[in-house]
Amino acid sequence: MNLVEEHYADFGPTLAAEKLAERDQVTVNRETLRQWMIEKRVWVPRKDRESGKLYSWRTRKECKGEMVQSDGSVHDWLEGRGPRLVLMAYIDDATGDPFARFYPQETTHAALDSLRRYVEIYGIPQSLYFDRNSIYKTTRQASVEEQLQGQSPKTQFEMVLDILKVDAIFAFSPQAKGRIERLFKTFQDRLIKEMRLARIRTLQEANAFLQEYLPKYRAAFVIPARNPKDLHRPIPADLDLDWVFAFREQRVIANDFTIAWNNRTFLITHPSAALKNQRITVLENLQGQVRIWGHNRFLQCREITRDTLRQIRQRAAARRASRKRVRSHPWKPPLDHPWRRQNKAILAELYAGSRT
């Protein structure tokens, strides 16, 4: 391999084997040489190339928490013994320390829940490295409000990262986030077999098994960082994770002080006229609880049923109809009203002046 690296670094395995035998009197099977060249990253197989470009290993970050890679892997983790699951995983780039949890599907809820569990255990990382899945990177155009404010459209996941002050880094290829991809490859070999021996059949059993398996994996595969400093930030005392990890969207308050949200309706219990047709932010946390933020405060509200909403709107329609009936018979001042007396005096004065 010293000869190959010195003289035949850009040769293919077959030609390199021929030249070793011809020039250096070293006989080696070309398949054996190919495996050695792949292991040393002297040669990259065609399937790993992209447009003729060779991928090189990126140096690990120096400190733990400096960058964490994240992704989800949909796979038959239970080998048919149970439902098909997705494994949401995180791996520290500097140490290879993993965190993982199973979910029914790869959704925004799963991404937010897994990130919160990671943050509660390790702290807030400096940056998060993930792919351009629609969960993490939106493809929609900026709304008018976003354009006026000079903002780019963001997913729910990106909004949470902004609150946590975590830098979002997007990968453009699977090779770019190779550590998390290799973690999945290892798990799909080792973890699946371990769960087979333990006869894991359900989502709950799989997550309980992970709590026992991950410490053993860390002991075998995690390496120390080049710099012992941990860059994970502690969770601020004034940061309520229940409402940081929440879905948030803007809505408009209707004239009857109701707000529609995900097929649910909420009524503001202490309304004021200034709130009508105003934009507010609706937050729903991972437990399904809802709060409404507007006018720099949380507004008091309660959820109402469709029947209650129908009654509220029927009463509002009745009030509007009664006001219309009043306007159809306008009030006329009586003959002795001061307004009429004033008008008569003015007319009399104008009449006298015209005669003069």
Rounded distance, CA 55 to CA 211, Å? Answer: 34
Domains of the chain: 2-48 (no CATH), 63-230 (3.30.420.10), 241-304 (no CATH)
How far, in Å, are 127, 177, 179 from residue 225 at the CA level?
A: 16, 18, 15
Q: Are 291 and 283 in contact (CB under 8 A)?
A: yes
- Measured over the CA atoms of residue 224, residue 225, residue 228 and residue 232, the dihedral's sign is negative
Q: Which helix (H) or strand (E) holds 249?
A: strand 246-252
- Measured over the CA atoms of residue 121, residue 124, residue 125 and residue 127, the dihedral's sign is positive
Look at residue 109 in the predicted model and tell me its pLDDT: 96
Give tens-digit pLDDT for 279-313: 899 999 999 999 999 888 899 999 999 899 889 88
- In the predicted model, residues of the chain with pLDDT beneath 50 are 51-52, 54
> Residue 140 — φ and ψ, nearest 5°?
-75, 160
What is the amino acid identity at position 289?
Answer: Q
Over its C-alpha atoms, the chain yields an Rg (Å, rounded) of 34
Report the DSSP pairing between strands 264-268 and 98-103: unpaired
Rounded distance, CA 94 to CA 184, Å? Answer: 17
Look at residue 56 in the predicted model and tell me its pLDDT: 55
Report the DSSP pairing between strands 167-170 and 246-252: unpaired
Q: Are 39 and 49 in contact (CB under 8 A)?
A: no
Rounded distance, CA 292 to CA 300, Å? Answer: 8
On the 0-12 / 13-18 / 19+ scale of CB atoms within 10 A, 207 is: middle
Look at residue 28 in the predicted model and tell me its pLDDT: 92
Look at residue 282 in the predicted model and tell me its pLDDT: 94
Report the DSSP pairing between strands 264-268 and 301-304: antiparallel
Rounded distance, CA 274 to CA 295, Å? Answer: 10
Look at residue 50 in the predicted model and tell me its pLDDT: 53
Cα 164 → chain centroid = 12
Rounded distance, CA 317 to CA 323, Å? Answer: 10
Give tens-digit pLDDT for 96-105: 999 999 999 9
The pTM score is 0.71
Q: Which of 195, 181, 65 is nearest to 123 (CA)?
A: 65
